[in-house]
Structure 1
Amino acid sequence: MLPVSNATSASPREGVWPAQRREILDWLVIETRNERFIDNILVEMSKRLLDAGVPVARATLHFRTNHPQWLGARILWRKGLSEAEIRTFDYGIEESIQYLNSPISEINNGAQVVRQRLEAPNEGGPLYPMYDELRGEGYTDYIAWPLNHTLDKRHVVTFSSDSPGGFSDDHIAFLADLLPALALVSEIRLKNRLARTLLETYVGPHASEQILAGATTRGSGVTVGAAILICDLRNFTAISDLWPRDDVIELLNGYFDAMSEPIEKHGGEILKFMGDGLLAIFPLSNPDACTNLLQAISEAQTAMAALNDENIRGGHDSLGYGIGVHVGDVMYGNIGSRKRLDFTVIGPAVNVASRLESLTKETKRPVLLSKVFAEMAGCESRLENLGSFPLRGVGEPIDVYAFSGDCAPAHQSESA
């Protein structure tokens, strides 16, 4: 790693391109306020640097995120491209040889700058494999800096050149002078993205959109028509008493994956997990909502069968479950105390779905549907009519159907 001039300390050099530097700084701080996405800002900033005479041919931003699936993400721009490439990284990447033997790891471990002239032989610094990759792609110079966010949260920005000789000291000073503004701009966008990600993770995509749009007042909400699905795991209390804690958590995660992924795939929204149960809706604004719900249940049953095969091979019992399905109008919005709200659905239709889920224990059928739902889905002829049942808290007995997995509408079956 070659020594870097004092310009890398981000102190401005007023004699070098002051007008161009001020123009880009003003753009970063002022004119990007209407741009939501940091990848677009990286692309535009890199183009402006090229126009200003700084030979940037490649730029990256590396962020750690609070995402349930990914540890972080890399945003990559290359000269000549109008869009950046975004790549996510799974948890555990920080233990990989690829990451540990990289300049990004060196920056995250406290280095203030990493510089490598790719045209020159290595002079005592780490010879990271990525340098050979960059050299092979025609780059001549590489530099990485930390982007310091609030409370010393450290991320990384890198620039590469393909110009003969790479970056001059003046180029490095120009780039370093942008770092505080870029850190500020990137932190705002990253926190906006994190807020949306966390809300999507905990309340679902549609509810998060409503909350971010300002639906944060207790009692605020709308009435929507929806197909409602309530699912509950059987004998979980006994399982949690007998199984080791880590096994119980793994079991729950596998069960929720089996149920949740088909629901989300087919347009359902999971509003909450309730211990070993879940509540989901399929808004009737989609004319195929009922068919989609049945398709989701069918795929979830297949996934649960595969999960139970694994459990049996591991010496555990199969998992049972009950699902209740109804359709109707629900109030969709904020409910709770003054300081703690829950974005959910309530109403008689939700109560019926809940009672149907409980009824699965009595009927020994894992999936029960109301007649109203079966009629709307157009699949009564392929369901088992179990008769009428009184449901606690529901005025009149309702006709109940058992679902076995055939969810194709009649006209599709006839034409197949």
Structure 2
Amino acid sequence: MSIGPDADTGMRDKVRVMTDTLIHHLKDAPPPPLGPSDTEACVSGQIADAIIASGLTDRPIGDLIQTVMDRLTQAGVPLARMMVGFRILHPLFDGMTIAWTAENGVEVEYYQALTEDNPDFTLSPFYWMIKGQVPELQLRIDRDALVDKFPLLQRLRDQGFTGYYARVVTFGEGPMQVGTTDGLALSWSTKSPAGFSERDVCIMQQILAPLSLALRVMIKDQIAKNTLNAFHGPLVGERILSGTVKRGDGERLAAALWYSDLRNSTGLADQLSVEGFLELLNVYFDCAAGAVIEEGGQVLDIVGDAILAFFPADAAGEEAAATSALRAALKAQERLVEAKAAECKCAVEINFGVGVHFGDVVFGNAGTRERLKFGVIGRAVNEVARTQDMSKLLGQPIVATDQVVSRARPDAGLRLNDMGLHDLRGIPAAKRLWALRHNADIAPANAG
């Protein structure tokens, strides 16, 4: 039918009315119902938005996992367990897992020795998938024969789990390899009698990319924090990550300073093998630096066999900082006594002195434009080192200045002997020194 200039006016009016009525109906009509694939995409999109929002915050990684699991279960995915595992750079641990269960929520665990000599690792589904380049694994735990290959899945079967879905995600172009930090592995498990449906797996697959991206960012952040904390201490690490990275950035603060030095280190290095001397150093560091960390102090520097630490007074107060530093000195010597009592071969050869002082320092960055060092600078640093030197001359394991002793809590139960005034090398004014002793079992830190 043609409606031209010569067409009947009444017919044109009827067509116009019909068209207007149809447009009005389409504008006001509700959208058509979503099909199964549209529903899954909508649910997955909402969960992906929640993942991105959580990933943009500075909240712990466990909070992200809890958010994801809450959203998945609310969407009807019958999850009873989730696990994500990845490697980290840490001097004590090889890997980290975050597990979620319907009963206990999120739990974080660290693992040592994720090597091919560890059967707990090599008999895991994740190892099998990475080693065999199997990116995806879906099983019926209650019926598939492959379950018998993995002790973990056998335990899950005994606990009533029915379905298992796992993925290995690689960070980069190539496949993930055993022993690298370039990826992660995730698994979901259910106790539903029907296992996982196609809809369940589809939703989990669709959120995998945003979840892996958020986890990758958080894992890299965790690795950076672990590395900085291990090599610089948490206080320095936090400041570096927060942006205190330019030459000259810093602050002035009051602190209790702590300095220890191993006796006869040159002779021991000559007598022992490289491995033996390093083992001895580690025992010494466990005694000395370990005591500082236990008392809440910050190990700032390890130069050869000397340890520089401090206890900032800004938050805790001068009394708490001074008391903690003196207690750390006592604990360091007590740890050595315990190591010797336990017949540790290395400990027999170890003696060290500790100096404790209190003063103002500059805490910040100094160095060249290409190589900076974050630490403490000032006269007080020299004074604590010279105080430690006096422990050797006075034949005392711990020597403290009047500045730190006078600030310690009166009821701290410290045994102090007044050693009188002494000139410290390079320090203009004589200082009153105190010997701090715990019991007669602590050997004198003399020139051995």
Question: What residue identity is the alignment partner of 1:377?
Answer: A
Matched-pair contact (CA < 8 Å) for 1:114–1:145: yes
Deviation at 1:284, TM superposition (A): 2.3
Residue aligning to 1:343: 374
2:353 to 322, 326, 329: 322
User: 1:31 and 1:382 mapped to 2: Cα distance?
Assistant: 52
What CA distance in whole angstroms lies between the structure 2 residues aligned with 1:241 and 1:117? 62
Q: Which residue matches 1:297? A: 329
What is the DSSP-based 3-state SS (H/G/I as helix, E as strand, rest coil) of the residue aligned with 2:407? helix
* CA 1:373–1:21: 2 relative to 1, 3 Å: closer
Aligned counterpart for 1:272 among listed residues 292, 301, 309: 301
1:85 to 107, 123, 126: 107
Unaligned ranges ≥5, structure 1: 1-12, 407-416
Q: CA deviation at 1:51?
A: 2.4
Residue 91 (structure 2) aligns with: 68
Could you tell me how far 1:316 is from its partner in structure 2? 7.8
Q: Deviations over 1:323-378 (max 9, x none)?
A: 11111111111111112221111111111111111222222222211122222226
Aligned CA RMSD, in angstroms, stands at 2.4
Q: 2:43 aligned to 20, 26, 29, which one?
A: 20
Q: Are 2:41 and 2:203, in contact at CA under 8 Å, matched by a contact in 1?
A: no
C-alpha separation between the residues in 1 aligned to 2:159 and 2:423? 72
Larger deviation: 157-166 or 367-376? 367-376
Give the SS at the match of 1:280.
Answer: strand
Aligned to 2:120: 98
Q: Partners of 2:409 and 2:126 in 1: how far apart? A: 57
Q: Tell whether 2:380 aligns with 1:358.
A: no
Q: Structure 2 vs 1, CA of residues 236 and 92 (structure 1 numbering), >3 Å: closer, same or farther?
A: farther
TM-score by length of 1: 0.87
The number of equivalent residue pairs is 391
1:144 is aligned to 2:166: yes
Indicate conservation of the 8 Å contact 1:324/1:354, yes or no: yes
351-360 or 46-55, larger mean C-alpha shift: 46-55
**Contact conserved, 1:309 with 1:318, CA < 8 A, in 2?**
no
Determine if contact 1:204/1:269 at 8 Å carries over to the other structure. yes
CA pair 225-128 structure 1, distance change in 2 beyond 3 A: same
- TM-aligned CA deviation for residue 381 of structure 1: 9.3
Whether the 8 Å CA contact 2:280–2:346 is kept in 1: the answer is no
SS at match of 1:36: coil
Q: CA deviation at 1:158?
A: 0.1
C-alpha change, 1:19 and 1:272, in structure 2 (3 Å) is same
> Relative to 1, partners in 2 of residues 1:381 and 1:271: Cα closer, same or farther, differing over 3 Å?
closer
Tell me: CA distance 1:72–1:116, structure 2 relative to 1, closer, same or farther (3 Å): same
- Structure 2 Cα separation of the partners of residues 255 and 296 of structure 1: 14
* SS of structure 2 residue aligned to 1:57: strand
Distance 1:316 1:253, change over 3 A: closer
| Structure 2: gaps spanning 5 or more residues | 1-35, 177-181, 440-448
Q: Hey, which bits of structure 1, 4+ residues long, moved more than 3 A?
A: 13-16, 29-32, 308-311, 313-317, 378-382
1:251 and 2:280 matched: yes
Q: Does the 8 Å contact 1:107/1:156 carry over to 2?
A: no
1:400 equivalent in alignment to 2:411: no
- Work out which of the two has the higher radius of gyration on C-alpha atoms and give 1 or 2: 2
Cα-to-partner distance string for 1:170-227 (whole Å, 9 max, x where unaligned): 3223322322222211000111111111111111112222222211121111111111
Structure 2 vs 1, CA of residues 31 and 225 (structure 1 numbering), >3 Å: closer, same or farther? closer
1:187 maps to 2:216: yes
Contact 1:116/1:142 (<8 A) preserved: yes
1: CA distance, partners of 2:366 / 2:321 = 25
* 1:307 pairs with one of 339, 344, 352: 339
Shift of 1:305: 1.8
3-state DSSP of counterpart to 1:34: coil
The aligned residue for residue 414 of structure 1 is none
Q: Check whether the contact 2:51–2:67 (CA below 8 A) recurs between aligned residues.
A: no
Shift of 1:80: 5.4
Give, in whole Å, the separation in 2 of the partners of 1:245 and 1:259: 21
1:224 correspondence with 2:253:
yes
Match of 1:390 in 2: 423
Conservation of the 8 A alpha-carbon contact between 1:226 and 1:282: yes
Which residue does the alignment assign to 1:215?
Answer: 244
Q: Within 2, Cα distance between the matches of 1:315 and 1:355?
A: 27
Match of 2:64 among 16, 34, 41: 41
TM-score (ref. length: structure 2) = 0.81
Deviations 1:15-42 (CA, angstroms, capped at 9, x unpaired): 6622212222333335531253222112
Which segment drifts farther, 299-308 or 232-241?
Answer: 299-308
Deviation of 1:126 after TM superposition, in Å, equals 5.2
The answer (yes or no) to whether the contact 2:147–2:153 under 8 Å persists in 1 is no
Report the CA distance shift for 1:274/1:159 in structure 2 as closer, same or farther (over 3 A).
Answer: same
Residues 291 and 35 of structure 1: CA distance in aligned 2, closer, same or farther (over 3 Å) = closer
Q: Sequence identity, in percent? A: 29
